Amino acid sequence: MRKQIAAANWKMNLTYQQAENLIDDLLALPHNLNNNQQVIFGVPFPYLTMVVDKLKGKRNVFVAAQNCYTKMNGAYTGETSIEMLQSIDVNHIIIGHSERREYFNESNEMLAAKVDLCLANNATPIFCCGEPLSVRETNEQDTFVAKQLKESLFHLIAEQIVKVVIAYEPIWAIGTGKTATSQQAQDIQAFIRNEIAKQYSNDIANEISILYGGSVKAANAKEIFGMPDVDGGLVGGASLVATEFNAIINALS
């Protein structure tokens, strides 16, 4: 049975004190995760050790970095390696978020290298894919997303791909005033699962958690998570409010 996951992506937000208060507030709220459910906090680099310490001993709760580099070490000023992250007990990494692709020109080829490095070091990549508004308007989203999967993931063997978490982001529905429906989320995520099944097998496709990353809120989480191919969410703004994200966590059940 594949995992249900509520993943927070804090992006470049919060001061240290605000981040500490947010984690403390969340930990004080009631939520009961079953063995098949996880919460992952994708926090800015300066706060990783603080959040790791806060979550020690917590069941099914993990910390993720928002990025890593394609090399293990070396003269790459400003970058952070998987080796560094694992040395502070961070073993989940968000790879290829739409903002990394758009603002930092991360290519499918570069993301394939990052995924490879994560898997080679027993870390879990949370691989992001999704189409911008221009692609959605021409109804070419399936082709666009299939290319992302093929060029960044489909070189993996079956034993590797099952260790990847996929997060679909409808970039066209984030900050554009347009809204993705739960059925639109289901349609594209079913397409992603079918592409994996064609490349590998139905059994493999049904092992992989596919998250939805398009403006998930407490008000819509239960409906979205109720779709058969949506296994949770990668949550941005709503993850910065303790009561809001806690409601999203509880929507998993």
Please write the tens of the pLDDT for every residue from 44-101. 999 999 999 999 999 999 999 999 999 999 999 999 999 999 999 999 999 999 999 9
Give the type of residue at 81: S
Q: What is the pLDDT of residue 179?
A: 66
Least confident of 12-21, 148-157, 215-224: 215-224
- Residue 231 CA to residue 5 CA, distance in Å, equals 6
Q: What is the pLDDT of residue 215?
A: 82
Query: Using an 8 Å Cβ cutoff, are 205 and 197 in contact?
Result: yes
Q: How far is CA 108 from CA 68, 119, 127, 203, in A?
A: 15, 16, 11, 26
Beta-bridge partner residues of 167:
128, 211
pLDDT at 234 over 90: yes
Mean pLDDT of 34-50: 97
Whole-number average pLDDT of the chain: 95
Mean pLDDT of 161-169: 97
pLDDT at 177 over 80: no
Share of the chain above pLDDT 70, in %: 98
Mean pLDDT of 110-122: 98
Q: What is the pLDDT of residue 230?
A: 96
User: Active-site residues: which are they?
Assistant: 97, 169
Cα distance from N-terminal residue to C-terminal residue, the chain: 14
Instruction: Look up the pTM and report it.
Output: 0.96
Identify the band that residue 173 occupies on the pLDDT scale cut at 50, 70 and 90.
confident
Q: What is the pLDDT of residue 180?
A: 80
Architecture of domain 4-250 in this structure: Alpha-Beta Barrel (3.20)
pLDDT at 178 over 80: no
pLDDT at 253 over 90: no
- Residue 253 CA to residue 187 CA, distance in Å, equals 22
Q: What is the pLDDT of residue 176?
A: 66
